A and B are shown apart, each in its own frame.
Chain A
């Protein structure tokens, strides 16, 4: 008789907490529309995997469907790679070619990754876990999953949840930080944008050359940058329109769906409910804040050397994070709120697409350096 009610008798308080966590993520997705395509499947996956006996994960020695998906998509890094192909097909690097100096904001705004990694070691995390926590600041879910899968498999759940949650909260996180670091006058700076056609050959060569250079500088970053640039090459080639559209739509939606529910399945109560998870969630926020600080302060630093009529609106620096295109939109809205008609969207997008490349390169640097140093 006991076996009949095993579903009820095996419920623990930890499972109940995870149902609440799952429900909270689903609520955020539906009610607040925070990254619903990811938070909803993650939330449901968290509930599924914490049901009694965890049949969806593994039961009586047989892998459940979520474990099969995990092994086939996360453990071997396939899903993040496929997502990058889709993202690459969505990105237009055109604005960056017109304002190439914006690429440096994509580097400066990676500051949060490294600052958070240092803080995480002060909190007692080992170097590999600290690096995985810092990479939340890449503001780039696939890179965070990729690095966490290499260095801190046990924390892949909280790291992914933090990465995607804070990405969706960029409109709440960035404005107060930017306002604290800039004056009204700085936020009202206008920037001239020169319209010019970017030659097609440049758009085609760019993804190939970037992949090759990244391969020489940080070979370990090639799966990430290579898949991103492959997607972009499909887009820019002009002869693969159907493939480009498929990558941007069907591939992106399908992999996102599977990625979300599979990440949710990594949130098993025994691994998720601990102090480290709380610390990781807090550290993720710290990473986003420091990213923004790094970008804005870098812009202000550059302004010290520029003539009065060529100064950069320092808010642009905050777009160097990889949350594309949300960060650019947030900054444009802030510029318009400060002064009606101040259009800095194209510069913001330039910095934002640079952040996409910068975050992957930063991930590559971490993947390259940490194993050399960690004991």
Chain B
């Protein structure tokens, strides 16, 4: 990760923008993916509680 960032630092502006885009999109999907897992887990727990 650090080496990619170091490389991007000395790249052209468009290459930097592409780098930010790739990292950014991965970050957004990963973060929202985490929320997805949490909601799923919470729904499961909630469903069980209602079942009890």
A residues bordering B, Cβ < 8 Å? 96-97, 100-101, 103-104, 106-107, 110-111, 113-115, 117-118, 120-122, 125-127, 130-131, 198-199, 201-202, 205-206, 209-210, 213-214, 217-218, 354, 357-358, 361-362, 365-366, 368-370, 372-375
- Complex A-B: 17 CB contacts under 8 Å: A100-B40, A101-B36, A103-B36, A106-B32, A114-B21, A121-B14, A131-B17, A199-B50, A201-B46, A202-B42, A217-B31, A218-B31, A358-B32, A365-B28, A369-B23, A373-B8, A375-B9
Q: Count the A-B residue pairs with Cβ separation under 8 angstroms: how many? A: 116
Please, how many angstroms separate the alpha-carbon atoms of A125 and B31 in the complex?
Answer: 29
Q: Give the distance to chain A from B48, nearest Cβ to Cβ, in Å.
A: 11
Number of interface residues of B (CB under 8 A): 32
Query: Of B9, B19, B28, B31, which is in contact with the most chain A CB atoms at under 10 Å from its CB?
Result: B28
Q: Give the distance to chain A from B40, nearest Cβ to Cβ, in Å.
A: 6
**Residues of B contacting A111 with CB < 8 Å?**
25
The 9 closest A-B pairs by CB, nearest first: A114-B21, A365-B24, A100-B39, A365-B27, A121-B13, A121-B17, A121-B14, A118-B17, A199-B46
Q: Give the distance to chain A from B47, nearest Cβ to Cβ, in Å.
A: 9
A104 touches B32 (CB 8 A): yes
Q: Give the distance to chain A from B31, nearest Cβ to Cβ, in Å.
A: 5
Measured CB to CB, the nearest residue on chain A to B29 is A107
Please, how many angstroms separate the alpha-carbon atoms of A202 and B35 in the complex?
Answer: 12
Please, how many angstroms separate the alpha-carbon atoms of A257 and B9 in the complex?
Answer: 41
Contact of B28 among A117, A131, A362 (CB under 8 A): A362
Q: Give the distance to chain B from A188, nearest Cβ to Cβ, in Å.
A: 27
**Residues of B contacting A103 with CB < 8 Å?**
32, 35-36, 39
B42 touches A354 (CB 8 A): no
B27 touches A361 (CB 8 A): yes
Please, how many angstroms separate the alpha-carbon atoms of A303 and B18 in the complex?
Answer: 27
Measured CB to CB, the nearest residue on chain A to B7 is A373
Please, how many angstroms separate the alpha-carbon atoms of A144 and B14 in the complex?
Answer: 21
Please, how many angstroms separate the alpha-carbon atoms of A354 and B50 in the complex?
Answer: 26
Please, how many angstroms separate the alpha-carbon atoms of A199 and B49 in the complex?
Answer: 10
**Residues of A contacting B18 with CB < 8 Å?**
118
Interface of chain B: mostly helix, strand, loop or mixed: helix
Contact of B16 among A127, A358, A365, A368 (CB under 8 A): A127
A366 touches B24 (CB 8 A): yes
Please, how many angstroms separate the alpha-carbon atoms of A292 and B19 in the complex?
Answer: 22
A361 touches B31 (CB 8 A): yes
B24 touches A104 (CB 8 A): no
A114 touches B25 (CB 8 A): yes
**With A107-B28, A107-B32, A366-B20 given, is the CB distance from A127 to B13 under 8 Å?**
yes
Please, how many angstroms separate the alpha-carbon atoms of A106 and B31 in the complex?
Answer: 11
Contact of A357 among B13, B14, B32, B33 (CB under 8 A): B32
**Residues of B contacting A125 with CB < 8 Å?**
13
Q: Give the distance to chain A from B42, nearest Cβ to Cβ, in Å.
A: 5
**Residues of A contacting B16 with CB < 8 Å?**
121, 127, 373-374
B35 touches A210 (CB 8 A): yes
Please, how many angstroms separate the alpha-carbon atoms of A373 and B21 in the complex?
Answer: 12
A114 touches B14 (CB 8 A): no
**Residues of A contacting B23 with CB < 8 Å?**
365, 369
**Residues of A contacting B30 with CB < 8 Å?**
217
B31 touches A213 (CB 8 A): yes
**Residues of B contacting A131 with CB < 8 Å?**
17, 20
Q: Give the distance to chain B from A350, nearest Cβ to Cβ, in Å.
A: 11
Q: Give the distance to chain B from A175, nearest Cβ to Cβ, in Å.
A: 25
B35 touches A205 (CB 8 A): no
Please, how many angstroms separate the alpha-carbon atoms of A369 and B42 in the complex?
Answer: 31
Q: Give the distance to chain A from B19, nearest Cβ to Cβ, in Å.
A: 6
